[in-house]
Amino acid sequence: MSIVLKERPIFILGTERTGTTLLMAALGCHPRIGIPEVGWLFPRIYPWRHTYGDLNEIGNFRTMVDEMLFGLIDPLWSMSMNPMTAVDEIVSMAQERSFAGVYAAMHQRYLQEVNKPRWGHKTPSNLYFVPQILDCFPNAQFIYITRDGRDTAVTSMRSAFGAANIFGAAHIWDLANSFVKPFRAAYPSTVWMDVRYEELCREPERVFRGICEFLEEEYSPQMLTFHATRIGIQRGKQRDHAPLGEPVSEKYVGIYRRFLSVYEQEVYATIAGKTHLDAGYDLDYDPIEIPASEMALMNEWEGRIRAARLDGPGGHIVFESYRDWLVEQRLLRKARGIWSDADDPKEFPVGHPDEDIIVGYRSSKKWRDHFSIKRRYTR
């Protein structure tokens, strides 16, 4: 079911560690645009919406609202909502009983909180759901930010929730940027805009003026004050998001030269080199021959280390546990007869080799189970 909004919704896309949060914080400073914290609703809920049963039944619809509303990283997006009546509030605001209806209602409620007319959203894995987003919101606009994959790899590997090694970092960057390539040809310039992280850092005002022109909004210098906002201050205190606590600069451009070894750059070139060159970046080193056994080992270490970091400092064990809880709830609804295998359309990304990455898992179930990582989410 589709919802055409009076104010076109804005979706910020890009693989993690490329500047999506910077765009989210900056555009959220525009006097007309309200952007809440990350949601992960399309990757986590949309492909499994059939598991809620007939949404015309109020009980089923309330279950979907509850799981979408209370599964946010930032609880209730820090809105002044009473948790006891929050589901009732969103149910009453929904234009229709559908995923899109809940999604739009949540964002409209956020706009009431910040007193702005137009909403946007940023979740990195939304890049895998552009056609689905357009099915829900036909007049949506997309801003895709690209960053040198080697710098992206550095920030990913040095974070508490990113890739464990250069193999994983290169694969994720290549997967995302290969995936969106057809969209550039499929969607007109009124729907899709590309932004380069390096240009944003060097000439922030020029780039933001271009973004505002794309969005048909007046440019506002307030966008450059994101580091003084609640999101900027909160994120800036975190080791993995420290740049959000300071103005835009070139400080993080070219950091791969300091942190990546020659061999790591060769591995990166082997895995992501073609996509990297297609994106307009140069390589310092050429691809090399890597034995299949070595690739398999790097892949295994990627999985093992990601799992081990989950409950370490800065790990995402609570949010990861919520995803596990969601899967359990689907199975419980199935046991109660709310849905059956016959109802399962097996929509993307179900069965995709990188389903875990696309959905946003920080670690695969295989390795979480192997290390007996304990869940830390209960309701």
In the beta sheet, which residues pair with residue 171? none
Alpha-carbon distance of 45 to 329, in angstroms, equals 12
What is the average per-residue pLDDT within 190-196? Answer: 98
Q: In what order do the strands lie in the sheet with 10-13?
A: 33-34, 118-122, 10-13, 141-146, 192-196
Peptide bond into 182 cis (omega under 30): no
Rounded to the nearest integer, the mean pLDDT of the chain is 95
Maximum Cα interatomic distance, the chain, rounded to a whole number of Å: 59
Q: Would you state the pLDDT for residue 136?
A: 98
pLDDT surpassing 90 at residue 374 = no
Q: Rounded to 5 degrees, what are φ and ψ at 73? A: -60, -45
The structural architecture, per CATH, of the domain 10-370 is 3-Layer(aba) Sandwich (3.40)
* pTM, two decimal places: 0.96
Would you say 107 and 36 are in contact if contact means Cβ atoms under 8 Å apart? yes
Average pLDDT over residues 192-199: 98
Three-class secondary structure of residue 267 per DSSP: helix
Percent of the chain that is helix, strand, coil (3-state, to 5): 55, 5, 40
Residue partners of 26: CB distance under 8 A and separation at least 6: 208, 223, 224, 226, 248
Q: How far apart are CA 126 and CA 78, in angstroms?
A: 22
pLDDT of residue 28: 96
Report the range of poorest mean pLDDT among 174-178, 276-280, 369-373: 369-373
- The pLDDT > 90 percentage for the chain reads 84
Q: Which helix (H) or strand (E) holds 118?
A: strand 118-122
377 band by pLDDT with thresholds 50, 70 and 90: low
Q: Is 196 helix (H, G, I), strand (E, B) or coil?
A: strand
Residue 80 gets which letter from DSSP?
A: S
Domain boundaries along the sequence of the chain: 10-370
Please compute the mean of the pLDDT values over residues 258-286 and round it to a whole number.
Answer: 98
Instruction: Give the pLDDT of residue 234.
Output: 83
